[in-house]
Structure 1
Amino acid sequence: MAKRDVVFPPGRHALYDSHHYSPAVKSDGFLFVSGQVGAREDGSPEPDLDAQVRLAFQNLNSVLGAAGCTFDDVVDVIVFIVDPEQHFERMWSIAAEHWGGAPYPTATAVGVTWLSGFQFEIKVVAKLPAE
């Protein structure tokens, strides 16, 4: 197997090391980004729900930027939400602040019972810019 082409953002949070995963991997013209949460630099969750969602997008944009991408390059999105019946509309309206205009990426929302202390997680695949 070839060595993974890993992308690390500047000022990455502690979860990558403590949970043993890479922020993103480049492969065949795409960037596969691990789920991003509203983690502070020490890996702890941002306690305010709205701020946690915004921080997840900030962390996502940091990873995308480290690979030379923006959210406009995202082709597929999966979001994980704890208690979506109560929080989906609120979180989705915050996500829309970062989404940009049409055409939109594909999207899947999944309700979960646990996200290691977080309430929201976003995972994406982006098309890498032509080199």
Structure 2
Amino acid sequence: MSKRNKIIYWIATIWLALGMLSTGIVQLIQLKEETEMMNRLGYPSYLLSIIGVWKILGVVAVLVPKFPLLKEWAYAGFFFVMSGAILSHFAIGDGAKEFFGPVLLLLLTFVSWYFRPVNRKIVLQTQ
């Protein structure tokens, strides 16, 4: 892995981890704004706790060395949660302000996944 790719990976991964951790905590403590947003989107507020826990666990999975299969699941979970958020905001006609966070986190998810080092990837054995 080139030095450039390693730098891209770590910058994207650190920002992704900070974004997912901070939003996961906000969802766990169910700030008023988050609860109101979930209600506006048509989701039950208890979903905040579920998503918050999974985001925090996903951050741990992405940052801890080894466990490449677990990392793939964490990246997939981040992709599904952020793409779901984007589609949910789109469905109710929200403006660009509401799209910024999920789009940024989705982009960081893709960049972090794409530039991850070989030791953080699943290596398929061929016969």
TM category (shorter chain) comes to: under 0.3
Which has more strand, going by share of residues? 1
What is the TM-score with the length of structure 2 in the denominator?
0.26
Q: As a proportion of its length, which structure holds more helix?
A: 2
Q: Relative contact order (C-alpha < 8 Å, sep 6+): which is higher?
A: 2
